[in-house]
Amino acid sequence: MLQAAALKLDTYLPRSPRKNRYFRLVEDNYEQLEWVWDQKYQQKYGYWRPYVTAVIYKFLDCGDPHLGFARVKCDDCKHEYILPFSCKRRHFCPSCHQKRVLEFGEHLHEEVLQDVPHRQWVFSLPKRLRPYFMYDRKLLAKLSRCAWNVLADYLKAGVTRNDPIPGCVIAVQTFGEFLNFNPHLHIIATDGCFCPDGSFMTGITPDAADLEAAFAVEVFDLLKKEGKISRIIINNMNNWEHSGFNVYCGQPVSAWDDAGIERLSQYIVRAPISQERMLYMPVQESPDGTAKVVYGGKTSRVNETFTALDWLARLVTHIPNKGEQMVRYYGYYSNKSRGIRKKDALIDTTENPSPGSVNTATTIVKSDLARKKFRKNWARLIQKIYFVDPLLCPKCGGGMRIISFIEDDATIKKILMHLDRWLPQTHDPPQVEADRITIHIHPHRSYEWWEAIKYVSGNEYSDDTIVQSPYEDEYSQLDPCEYNFTD
């Protein structure tokens, strides 16, 4: 590893997630959000997904040393600090997602993309069709296939070789500037096609407008096949002056622009939110006693104010389901194609070793090993994010290393108590707008008397006042056809 002094890196201080305003926003409001979801947000965003609760709980435990940590120790002066485990929740924990972003950028640059020119493409949908993809997230994977079908045909038509093969990496993003649900596709595509012999031919200068009509046909066919829309809706939208479908094509990124390719790779999987553009005002600081979020637009430079519940409700709609893939590889960059090339290279190297070399079979699978190394090398990722070296001793400037991982509850408590950091985390119950059940106790009658009565008349306690929530699970969603949409 390069010397920290040469890189001019500062020493690392483990973060304190509980001190930032985003953590306070979630902690203060997530229970109330789940409590009022059925009444306030179900019609607009669908049923509450149980997996969202699991993600929030994991986030609230992110960086909590009471749940385990690593011990990092200096070999020279014996200085030591503890590094709490992270939650690794994507699209919700800003810190953990940023590490994924950097990791993905390196993986794409070093493992997937070839040294050829690339372009960024963006495929967007009209507002009228977006709710179908919110209520049925399985459609997002099929949306990627729609874009690939259109783009692959277009790129193949732009070269003169036989059997051309383009390559694409397609990332699904569901958020707009102010966290509105806006499903769209960010694509890194080769600026041309590969030939069967492995050579590359650059295509013609593309015109993004040429793809909009074909993309609309693919999406209409998908939604009609899935039973989401009818031929009447398709005919109606085809008569619009502006279809709402949009395709954008960026400038080419040259084969030798490594930094540009890595930045673009990071951009297509960026987090839904930016903490720098978010200001949280808790109840105690809000003039009207309602917690609020002021969020600044990235491109519009306009600030919008939301209630904390409204903003958090928008945010949780962008949490992917468990196991949901948000990035897909097609054509020359598909998992199958890359696997075949690696296998062929391994066979070729094994059968025809270079003169004077040793068996290089282990080096052929270096990329697989590198991928695992990316996940473990947290120190390098922290350097790229914060420009600090977590393995630089703040006392003597020597090198530090991880000496153990502490996961046993009794050992965790013993060490934290020794460091005077043992503090079980608790918080107040959520504030609710009003009690859903009101019980009036007559001063001359005992509580046991009221308990013995199942129903009472008037405005007093009755089982009829209990609101029964509908059955819900991760896959039950409201039908978007029941609502009116404005474009």
Task: Give per-residue pLDDT as tens, 213-270.
Answer: 999 999 999 999 999 999 999 999 999 999 999 999 999 999 999 999 999 999 999 9
Cα 242 from chain centre: 31
Statement to judge: residues 403 and 434 lie in one domain: yes
Confidence of residue 175 (pLDDT cuts 50, 70, 90): very high
Q: What is the largest CA-CA distance in the chain?
A: 102
Q: Are 265 and 232 in contact (CB under 8 A)?
A: no
Number of domains in the chain: 2
Statement to judge: residues 80 and 138 lie in one domain: no
**351 belongs to a structural domain:** no
**68 belongs to a structural domain:** yes
Statement to judge: residues 74 and 126 lie in one domain: no
Statement to judge: residues 46 and 110 lie in one domain: no
Statement to judge: residues 12 and 103 lie in one domain: no
Give tens-digit pLDDT for 383-437.
665 566 778 888 888 888 888 888 999 999 999 998 888 876 555 444 444 433 3
pLDDT above 70 coverage of the chain, percent? 75
**346 belongs to a structural domain:** no
Q: Are 20 and 275 in contact (CB under 8 A)?
A: yes
Statement to judge: residues 101 and 205 lie in one domain: yes
**361 belongs to a structural domain:** no
**107 belongs to a structural domain:** yes
Statement to judge: residues 82 and 110 lie in one domain: no
Statement to judge: residues 45 and 135 lie in one domain: no
Average pLDDT over residues 64-69: 89
**Structure tokens, 49:** 């997904």
Identify the CA nearest to 91 among candidates 24, 31, 171.
Answer: 171
**347 belongs to a structural domain:** no
pLDDT of residue 103 exceeding 70, the answer is: yes
Confidence of residue 460 (pLDDT cuts 50, 70, 90): very low
Statement to judge: residues 61 and 118 lie in one domain: no
209-225 and 231-238 are packed helices; what angle lies between their axes, rounded to 10 degrees?
160
Statement to judge: residues 170 and 117 lie in one domain: yes
Statement to judge: residues 376 and 327 lie in one domain: no
Angstrom distances, CA of residue 421 to CA of 64, 90, 165, 176, 402: 11, 28, 58, 40, 20
Tell me which residue range forms the domain holding 249: 94-272+318-333
Statement to judge: residues 436 and 480 lie in one domain: yes
Q: How much is the pLDDT for 18?
A: 72
**220 belongs to a structural domain:** yes
> What does the alpha-carbon distance between residue 296 and residue 298 come to, in Å, rounded to a whole number?
6
Beta strands (DSSP E) in 181-291 are: 181-190, 192-194, 200-202, 246-249, 278-281
**286 belongs to a structural domain:** no
Confidence of residue 19 (pLDDT cuts 50, 70, 90): confident
Q: How much is the pLDDT for 207?
A: 95
H helices of 317-360, where? 335-351
Confidence of residue 179 (pLDDT cuts 50, 70, 90): very high
Q: Residue count of the chain, please give it.
A: 487
